[in-house]
Structure 1
Amino acid sequence: MTTPSSSARPGGTVLVTGGAGFIGCAISAALMESFDRVVVVDSLHPQIHASGRRPPELAAAAELIVRDVTEAATWDDVLARVTPDVVVHLAAETGTAQSLNESTRHTHVNVVGTSQLLDGLNRHHKLPRRIVLSSSRAVYGEGAWRRADGKLFYPGQRTSVTLEKGEWDFPGAEPVAMNAAQTFPAPVSVYGATKLAQENILQAWAKSYDVETVILRLQNVYGPGQSLINPYTGIMSLFCRMAMGGKSIPLYEDGDVRRDFILIDDVASAILAGALSTTVRGTPIDIGSGEFQTIGTAAGLIARHYNAPQPHVTGQYRQGDVRHAWADVSAAADVLGWTPQYSLTQGIDLLADWIDAQPDVQPA
Structure 2
Amino acid sequence: MSVRPTLLVTGGAGFIGAAAAPELLRTYDVVALDNLHPQVHSTRDRPAALPEGVRLVTGDVTVASVWDHLLQDVAPDVVLHLAAETGTGQSLDEATRHASVNVVGTTQMLDAFGRAGAGPSRIVLTSSRAVYGEGAWIDADGSTTYPGQRGDTMLTEGEWDFPGLRPTAMDARSVAPLPVSVYGATKLAQEQLLGVWGRALGVEVAVLRLQNVYGPGQSLTNPYTGIMSLFCRMAMGGRSIPLFEDGRVRRDFVLIDDVVDAVVAAVTAQEVAAAPLDIGSGETQTIGAAADLIARRYGAPAPHVTGQFRHGDVRHAWAETAPATAALGWRPRFSLEEGVERLARWIDAQPGVTAA
**TM interval, short-chain normalised:** over 0.9
* AA aligned opposite 1:234: G
What runs of 5+ residues in structure 2 fail to find an aligned partner?
none
Structure 1: unaligned runs, 5 residues or longer: 1-8
Pairing partner for 1:159 from 151, 157, 169 = 151
Q: Secondary structure at the match of 2:25?
A: helix
Equivalent residue in structure 2 for 1:191, among 183, 192, 196: 183
Shift of 1:59: 1.1
Matched pairs, number: 355
Which among 245, 250, 254 is matched to residue 242 of structure 2? 250
1:117 positional shift = 0.5
Counterpart for residue 267 of structure 1: 259
Of the three residues 16, 19, 23, the one matched with 2:16 is 23
Q: What secondary structure is seen at the aligned counterpart in 2 of 1:139?
A: helix
CA contact (8 A) 2:147 2:162 kept: yes
- Secondary structure at 1:34's aligned position in 2? coil
Query: Contact 2:219 / 2:226 at 8 angstroms: preserved in 1?
Result: no
TM-score, normalised to structure 2's length?
Answer: 0.99
Identity of aligned residues (%): 62
Amino acid at match of 1:214: A
Alignment-mate amino acid for residue 207 of structure 1: R
In structure 2, what is the equivalent of residue 118 of structure 1? Answer: 110
CA contact (8 A) 1:142 1:156 kept: yes
One-letter code aligned to 1:177: A
- What is residue 169 of structure 2 aligned with on the other side? 177
SS in 2 for 1:303: helix
1:232 aligns with 2:224: yes
Question: Contact 1:18–1:24 at 8 Å: present in 2 too?
Answer: yes
- Which of the numbers 26, 33, 42 marks the counterpart of 2:26? 33
SS in 1 for 2:208: strand
Deviation for aligned residue 1:123:
1.1
Name the CA distance, whole Å, in 1 between partners of 2:221 and 2:76: 32
Secondary structure of the residue aligned to 2:148 is coil
TM-score, normalised via structure 1 length: 0.96
Contact between 2:8 and 2:80, CA under 8 Å: does it hold in 1?
yes
Match for residue 98 of structure 1? Answer: 90
Q: Aligned match of 1:290 in 282, 289, 303?
A: 282
Tell me if structure 2 keeps the 8 A contact 1:10–1:34: no
Corresponding residue SS for 1:123: helix
Deviation of 1:11 (Å): 3.8
CA RMSD of aligned residues (A): 1.0
TM-superposed deviation, 1:50: 1.3
- Please name the residue that 2:212 is paired with: 220
Q: Compute the displacement of 1:278 (Å).
A: 1.4
Contact 1:144 1:183 in 2 (8 A): yes
Matched residues in 1 for 2:43 and 2:317: separation?
34
Q: CA deviation at 1:105?
A: 0.2
Change (3 A) 1:10 1:215: farther
Taking a change above 3 Å as real, the CA distance of residues 101 and 81 of structure 1, as seen in their structure-2 partners, is same
Where does residue 48 of structure 2 map in the other structure?
56
1:293-316 C-alpha deviation (Å, 9 max, x unpaired): 000000000000001001011111
Report the equivalent of 1:3: none
Match of 2:36 in 1: 44
> Hey, which bits of structure 1, 4+ residues long, moved more than 2 A?
none
C-alpha offsets along residues 272-301 of structure 1, whole Å, 9 cap, x if unaligned? 000011131221110001121000000000
